[in-house]
Chains A and B, each alone.
Chain A
Amino acid sequence: MSEFFQRFARNRAAVLGIGILAVIIVVALAAPLLFGADPFKLQGKPMVPPLTGGFLFGTDMLGRDVAAGVAYGARTTLLIGVIATTVAVTLGLLVGGVCGFFGGKLDVLLMRVTELFQTIPSFLFAIVIVAILGPTITNVIVAIALVTWPPVARLTRGEFMSMCNREFVHACVCAGVQDWKIILRHILPNCAPAIIVTASLMVANAVLIESSLSFLGLSDPNVMTWGLMIGAGRVALRAAWWVCAIPGIAILLTALAINLAGDGLNDSLNPRLKNA
C-alpha cells in the first residue's frame, strides 16, 4: 500500500490533479458559508465584469454572483458525476460479471445488448431519456448511467473470463465454494485495479455529459449547474463573455483534474502496464 502511495506521489501531474480536485471539493462544501444559501439570488448590478464591485467573477445578466453559481455548480456536478458513475459501474459489473463467469447463451445475448448500447449515439440517447422522463436530477443520473455502463461491462467480462481460467479459481470450484463467494471474494478483488481506474476516468466523462445536458436545458431548473450558467449566459456572449467563460473553465479544470488523477492511479495501480 505504501508502495502505491510512493509511486503515486512521484507522478507530479497526478498530484496536481488531486490538488485541484481537493480545492474544488472544499469550495463545493463551503458554498453556503461563502455565498449564502441561494445562488439564484440577485446580488448586485447586472453584467459587472470580474474583479470589480466586490465580485471575484463578476455578475450575470440578471445581477447574480457568478462566483456563487460556480461554487454551487460544483456541488451538483460532482454529486451527479460520482453517483452516475457508481450506478454505471454497478450495472457494468453485474452484466460483465454474469457474462464472464457463466458464459453460454446468456453471455451472447447480454453482449449483443451491450454492443447495441455502444452503437447508438449515446449523447442523443441521453437527451431522449431526459426529455421523455423529465428534467430532474435523478433522471439525469439515470441517463448518464445508461449511456456509460457498456465499457465497464466489457472490461469486467474480459477480466472475469481470464480469472476463471486461473488455478485459484479452479481450486475454489473443486473445494465446492459457492459461485457468488468465488465471484465476490476471489475474482472481484483481483479485477479491482482495472475497474477502479476506469471508474475514475468515467467520472470526468459523466461531468462532461452532465454539463452538456444542462447546457441544452435538460437539468432541474431550480438547481445551479455549470452547464445551466453557460446556457443562460450565451445570449449575452458579446457583452458579458465571463458569464460563459468562467463556469466553462470550472468544467475544464474538474475534468482535467480527474483525468490527471485517473492516469496517475492507472500508473501506480497497474505498474506492469507502464513497462509494456
Chain B
Amino acid sequence: MNERLRFIWRRLLQGIPTILLIIIACFFLLKLAPGDAAEVLAGESGAATKEYVDTLRTKFQLDKPVPVQLAAYVKNVLTLDLGYSFRQGTSVSSLIASRLVPTLLLMGAALGFAIVAGIVLGMAASNRPGGWVDQFVSVLSLLAYSMPMFWAGLMLIVVFSLRLEWFPTSGMEEVAMFHEGWTRVLDIAEHLVLPALTLSLFYLALFMRLMRAAMLEQRGMDYVVTARAKGLTERQILTRHVARNALLPIITMIGIQMGNLVGGSVIVETVFGWPGLGQLAFDSLFARDLNLLMGIFVVSAVLVVVVNILVDITYTLIDPRIKAA
C-alpha cells in the first residue's frame, strides 16, 4: 500500500512540469500573434478601452524583458487570474467555471455510452470472428472513423429533430419552462441524447475495435486453458477472466483520447448549442476574444493532464502487476 501511495505521489509530481510547459507554450503562442500581446489579450475588436490595454501592458510587464514577462504570465495563470473578458463582461475564470459542468456532463455521457456499448459490441464481435455481428461492427467502425463529427451531428438533427421531432435541436434545457427536480433532469436528458451520441460515435468505434482485438488475443492465453481445465463454463471464463484482462487496453485508451474528447466537444457543442466550454470557445473565436480562448485552452489542457494522472492511478488499482514505471 505504501508503495502505491508513493506511486500516486510521484505521478502527481510528474504532472507539474507538464502543466508548466503548457502554460509556457501558451505564452510563446501569444507572442507569435501579430501586434502587441496586450492588444491581442484585450481582443482585436476594439471592445476594450485604451486604459484597459495599458493596465494589461503593466500587468503582463510587456515593457520588461521576455523572461520577466514569462514569469508574470505563469504567475497569473497559476493563481487562476486569467484576465477579464470585455465581450462577456465578467472574469475569464468565472466564465470557465460556469461552463465546466455542462461540458463535463456531455463528455461523461458520451464516454460512458462509448465504453459500455463498445465493450458489449466488441465482445459480441469477438465471439464469432467473421460472423454477421463482426461484419456489422467493422463496417460501423470504418464509417465512424471517416465521418466528420459536425456533419454526423447535423444529420442527426435533420432526421431526429426536424423530421421525426423526437429530440430538441439545441440547448441544454427549456429555460422558459422553469422545470424543477426530476422534470428538469428528464428535460436535460432529452437534450443530451443527440449531442452525446454524436460525440460518442468515434470512441464507440475505437473501443469496439480495441475490445474485439483484446478479447481475441486474451483467448489464446494459457490461463484460459487452465480455467477450462478446472471445469469453468465458457461463460464464466469469458466474463470473469478474459473480459477483465481485455479491459486494460481500454482504460489506457481513455487516457490517450482525453485531449481528443475535449476537441470533439468544441465541435459538438457548437453544432447543438450546448452551453459548455466548447461553445464558449466558439463564441470567443467569433468575438476575437483571444484571452478567453487561451484561458479555455489552458484549463482544458490542465484538465486532460489531471484525467491522465487519474487513469494511471486507476490502472494500478485494477492491475496490481503494474508498478510505477
Contact = CB atoms under 8 A, between A and B. Distances in A.
Contacts of B281: 124, 127
A28 B290 CA distance: 35
A205 B35 CA distance: 32
Contacts of B147: 252, 255
A5 to B, nearest CB: 23
A248 interface: yes
A183 interface: no
B154 A255 contact: no
Contact of B304 (A119, A134, A248): A119
Contacts of A115: 18
Interface in B291-317: 293-294, 296-297, 300-301, 304-305, 308
Given A116-B21, A217-B285, A230-B151, A124 B158 contact: no
B270 interface: yes
A211 B158 CA distance: 20
A69 to B, nearest CB: 15
A149 interface: no
A128 B145 contact: no
Nearest to A209: B263
Nearest to B154: A244
Contacts of A204: 145-146
A230 B270 CA distance: 13
B122 interface: no
A121 B259 contact: yes
A215 to B, nearest CB: 5
A225 B267 CA distance: 17
B146 A255 contact: yes
A208 interface: yes
Contacts of B301: 119-121, 124
Nearest to B285: A131
Contacts of B151: 230, 244, 248, 251-252
B132 interface: no
B40 A132 contact: yes
Category for how many chain A residues contact B: 35 or more
Interface string B265-279: 011001100000000
A216 to B, nearest CB: 6
B146 A121 contact: no
B162 A124 contact: no
B148 A208 contact: yes
B262 interface: yes
Interface stretch (A98-106, A185-193, A233-241): A233-241
Interface of B: 17-18, 21-22, 25, 29-30, 32-34, 40, 142-143, 145-151, 154-155, 157-158, 162, 256, 258-260, 262-264, 266-267, 270-271, 281-282, 285-286, 288, 290, 293-294, 296-297, 300-301, 304-305, 308
A229 to B, nearest CB: 11
A58 B308 CA distance: 47
Contact of A131 (B262, B293, B304): B293
Contacts of B305: 119
Contacts of B148: 208, 211-212, 215, 227, 248, 251-252, 255
Interface of A: 112, 115-116, 118-129, 131-134, 204, 208, 211-212, 215-218, 227, 230, 234, 237-238, 241, 244-245, 248, 251-252, 255-256, 259-260
B285 A237 contact: no
14 contacts: A127-B293, A128-B294, A132-B40, A133-B33, A204-B145, A204-B146, A208-B148, A212-B148, A215-B150, A241-B162, A252-B143, A252-B151, A255-B146, A256-B142
A143 to B, nearest CB: 11
B145 A259 contact: yes
Contact of B34 (A126, A134, A241, A255): A134
| A-B residue pairs, 3 tightest by C-beta | A123-B263, A248-B151, A255-B146
Contacts of A238: 162
- Chain B CB within 10 Å, residue with most, of A120, A134, A238: A120
Contacts of B149: 212
B143 A124 contact: no
Given A121-B263, A123-B263, A211-B148, A132 B282 contact: no
Given A119-B308, A121-B300, A216-B266, 11 more contacts: A115-B18, A116-B21, A116-B25, A132-B30, A227-B148, A230-B154, A238-B162, A252-B143, A255-B148, A256-B146, A259-B146
